[in-house]
């Protein structure tokens, strides 16, 4: 019974990591946002476009792109079972990603700054970060499960 519960925890932990990565990949190929140029809907930007041009937002003091770096470091810490670091990186990623909503306008090339609407890709990005955070919180149970299953196999 105890091993079964621990196996469930390990499978939820593994599933959270896989879902996080899958959602991130999906967000790259989904519409992330669309500027409203002069009140009319503008070009739709995919997540991959946002990833590539995102650092340009630093010019306008928009640092939400840093959520990507934080998430990547978070995944690394999750895979190395470093819970405190993983939680810190994932919480930072979530804070940076949500900060995108604080900006009333975003720069669009040399055309100026415009209001925008968020799209499904942004939501997938946020969900990816949340699943990484769930996995980071589960590290102690996943580590315990691995150690206990190794001990029981030696018996």
Could you state, in order of their start, the residue ranges of all structural domains in the chain?
9-142
Round to whole Å and give the CA distance between 135 and 121.
Answer: 21
Which DSSP helix (H) or strand (E) runs through 91? helix 83-99
pTM of the model: 0.84
Q: Is 103 left (phi over 0), alpha (psi -120 to 50) or beta?
A: beta
Kindly report the backbone phi and psi dihedral angles of residue 41, in degrees, each rounded to the nearest multiple of 5, phi listed first: -60, 130
Query: Helices in 80-138 by DSSP H: which ranges?
Result: 83-99, 120-137
Instruction: Return the SS3 of 86.
Output: helix
Residue-wise pLDDT for 71-128, tens only, equals 999 999 999 989 999 999 999 999 999 999 998 888 777 777 788 999 999 999 999 9
Angle at 49 between CA 44 and CA 53, to 5 degrees: 120
């Amino acid at each position: 019974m105890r091993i079964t519960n621990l196996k469930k925890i390990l499978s939820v932990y593994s599933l959270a990591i896989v879902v996080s990565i899958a959602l991130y990949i999906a967000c790259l190929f989904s519409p992330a946002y669309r500027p409203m140029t002069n009140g009319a809907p503008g070009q739709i930007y995919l997540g991959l476009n946002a990833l590539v041009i995102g650092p340009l937002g630093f010019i306008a003091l928009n640092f939400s792109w840093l959520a990507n770096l934080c998430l990547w470091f978070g995944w690394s810490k999750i895979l190395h079972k470093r819970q405190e670091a993983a939680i810190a990186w994932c919480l930072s990623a979530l804070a940076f990603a949500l900060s995108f909503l604080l900006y009333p306008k975003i720069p669009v090339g040399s055309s100026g700054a415009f209001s925008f609407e968020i799209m499904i890709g942004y939501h997938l990005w946020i969900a990816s970060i949340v699943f990484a955070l769930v996995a980071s919180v589960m590290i102690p149970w996943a580590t315990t499960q691995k150690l206990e299953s190794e001990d029981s196999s030696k018996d």
